Amino acid sequence: MRKKLYLFSVFLLSAILFSGCDNQALTGKKLIKITSSSCKQFTESAGADSIAQDQDCVEFTYLPESKTLKIKHLNAAFNCCPDKVFGEISIDSNIITIVEKEKLTDPCKCNCLYDLDYELTDIEAGNYIIRITEAYLNDVDEKLEATLDLKKSEKAEICKKRTSYPWIF
């Protein structure tokens, strides 16, 4: 009986330690939150504040008081029917790398565009290189990469024109 209780306790403790939200990860001391939109539907009458479908953009916002870096990837391409879309984030010195991925159980024969939001905490003000590896970027289009000086600027945006599906029909 004692052995069963011990095994149950070990199992319960392991379940607690290894469970958690799919959209959060702890990298060193940096809590990372990731959220994504649903598949975007573009119309001719899109608002003035929206970006064009053929644009692939990243907006950066730094909040120095909380040492939080918010990264918003607009028009990230993924399959139309993913179980989920997400980014794997690594931070090595001043280089922040985001590798965007999708989990597909039953993929559709189409792709569409999503917006992904990343929130990194405990980021000190300084110079950073941000690299985003996209799931469906072709070999011709330019990769999303930015150099940020978070001591000088709290907001930045980069956009790259895309020349292939799903950005262009």
Instruction: Indicate whether 81 belongs to any domain.
Output: yes
Tokens at residue 55, please? 């644009």
Single-letter amino acid, residue 132: I
Instruction: Indicate whether 7 belongs to any domain.
Output: no
The predicted model scores a pTM of 0.77
- Nearest alpha-carbon partner for 111 in 140, 82, 141, 84: 82
Q: Is the peptide bond before 166 cis (omega within 30 degrees of 0)?
A: yes
- Cα 98 to Cα 12, 41, 45, 56, 126: the distances in Å are 33, 25, 32, 15, 18
Domain range for 116: 21-40+52-161
> What pLDDT is attached to residue 11?
35
Instruction: Indicate whether 63 belongs to any domain.
Output: yes
Q: What confidence tens digit (pLDDT) does each residue in 66-116 have? A: 999 999 999 999 999 999 988 999 999 899 999 999 999 999 999 999 999
Instruction: Indicate whether 5 belongs to any domain.
Output: no
Number of Cα atoms under 13 Å in the Cβ half of residue 34: 22
Residue 44 has pLDDT above 80, yes or no: no
**Helix residue ranges per DSSP H, the chain:** 2-18
User: What percent of the chain is modeled with pLDDT above 70?
Assistant: 77
Instruction: Indicate whether 131 belongs to any domain.
Output: yes
How do 144-149 and 111-120 pair as beta strands? unpaired
Confidence band, pLDDT 50/70/90 cuts, at residue 49: low
Per the prediction, the chain carries an average pLDDT of 80
> What pLDDT is attached to residue 12?
33
> What mean pLDDT do residues 129-146 have?
94
> What pLDDT is attached to residue 140?
92
Instruction: Indicate whether 11 belongs to any domain.
Output: no
